[in-house]
C-alpha cells in the first residue's frame, strides 16, 4: 500500500511538472521564419550579425520582434530588408538576388529559383502599386472617358526620374475643354491642384504643374 502511495505521489509530481512545462512553453514568445531565397543557397545576416550559409526552404525558429535581414552571395547584389515578426507568426523571408555575372544568372535558371524570382518581383510591383494608390487616391476612379477628353495617369514630367511620382494626363480635342476636364476631377471628389496635370492636344503638349 505504501508502494502504491509512493507511485501515486511520484505520478502526481510528474504530471504537475508536465503541466507546468506545457504552460511555460506556451508562454514563451516564439515564431518561425521560412527562407524562400534565390539562388538556392545564400549568406544570411540577422541584425548585422555574422553571416551564415542557409538554403532555400530552411525554417528558422526565432523570437518575435523587429529584424534586419541581409541576404548576399558572391556575384550577386546583396539585399537588405526590415521585417517585423509577431508572436506565433509563421513568417516568410522572400528574396531573389540580382545577378551581376553570367555565372550568377545560371544559378537562377532552375525552376525553384525562377518561381521565387517571379514571386519576389510580383511582391515589389504590388508594393509599388499600393504606394502609388495611397499617394494618388484618384487612381481608384481612372480612367475617365468623355466625348471631348479623357483623363488617365501618366509618367510625371516634373519628376521624370522618380517612379513614385505620376501625373494626370488630359487628352482633349481642344484647349477650350480644359476647365471641363478639371471640373470632372472635382466632381469625383478630388482637387486638381493636388496633382500635376498635363494637357495633351493633337500631339502638342501643354503642361501645368501644381503642388503635389
Domain formed by 31-135, architecture: Sandwich (2.60)
What pLDDT score does 10 carry? Answer: 55
Cell of residue 159, nine digits = 519628376
Angstrom distance (rounded) from CA 63 to CA 84: 11
Check residue 174 and give its pLDDT: 84
As a whole number, mean pLDDT of residues 11-39 equals 65
Strand-strand pairing, 79-85 and 41-46 = unpaired
Q: Give the model confidence (pLDDT) of 65-81 as tens digits.
A: 999 999 999 999 999 99
CB within 8 Å of 209: residues ≥ 6 apart: 157, 158, 196
Average confidence (pLDDT) over 158-175:
91
Q: 178: helix, coil or strand?
A: helix
Domain boundaries, the chain: 31-135, 137-208
Contact 119, 36 (CB under 8 A): yes
Is the pLDDT reported for residue 113 higher than 60? yes
Query: Which of 16, 19, 81 minimizes the C-alpha distance to 45?
Result: 81
- The pLDDT value given to residue 6: 54
Q: How many CA atoms lie within 13 A of 78 on its CB side?
A: 11
pLDDT at res. 17: 58
Amino acid at each position: 500500500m505504501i508502494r502504491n502511495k509512493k507511485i501515486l505521489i511520484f505520478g502526481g509530481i510528474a504530471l504537475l511538472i508536465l503541466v507546468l512545462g506545457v504552460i511555460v512553453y506556451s508562454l514563451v514568445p516564439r515564431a518561425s521564419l521560412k527562407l524562400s531565397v534565390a539562388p538556392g543557397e545564400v549568406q544570411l545576416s540577422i541584425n548585422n550579425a555574422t553571416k551564415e550559409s542557409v538554403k532555400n526552404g530552411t525554417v528558422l525558429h526565432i523570437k518575435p520582434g523587429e529584424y534586419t535581414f541581409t541576404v548576399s552571395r558572391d556575384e550577386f547584389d546583396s539585399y537588405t530588408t526590415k521585417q517585423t515578426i509577431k508572436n506565433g507568426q509563421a513568417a516568410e523571408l522572400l528574396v531573389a538576388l540580382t545577378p551581376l555575372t553570367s555565372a550568377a544568372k545560371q544559378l537562377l535558371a532552375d525552376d525553384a529559383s525562377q518561381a521565387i524570382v517571379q514571386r519576389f518581383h510580383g511582391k515589389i510591383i504590388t508594393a509599388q502599386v499600393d504606394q502609388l494608390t495611397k499617394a494618388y487616391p484618384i487612381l481608384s476612379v481612372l480612367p475617365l472617358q468623355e466625348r471631348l477628353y479623357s483623363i488617365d495617369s501618366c509618367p510625371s514630367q516634373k519628376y521624370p526620374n522618380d517612379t513614385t511620382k505620376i501625373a494626370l494626363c488630359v487628352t482633349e480635342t481642344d484647349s477650350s475643354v480644359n476647365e471641363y476636364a478639371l471640373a470632372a476631377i472635382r466632381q469625383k471628389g478630388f482637387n486638381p491642384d493636388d496633382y500635376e496635370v498635363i494637357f495633351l492636344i493633337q500631339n502638342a503638349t501643354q503642361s501645368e504643374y501644381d503642388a503635389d
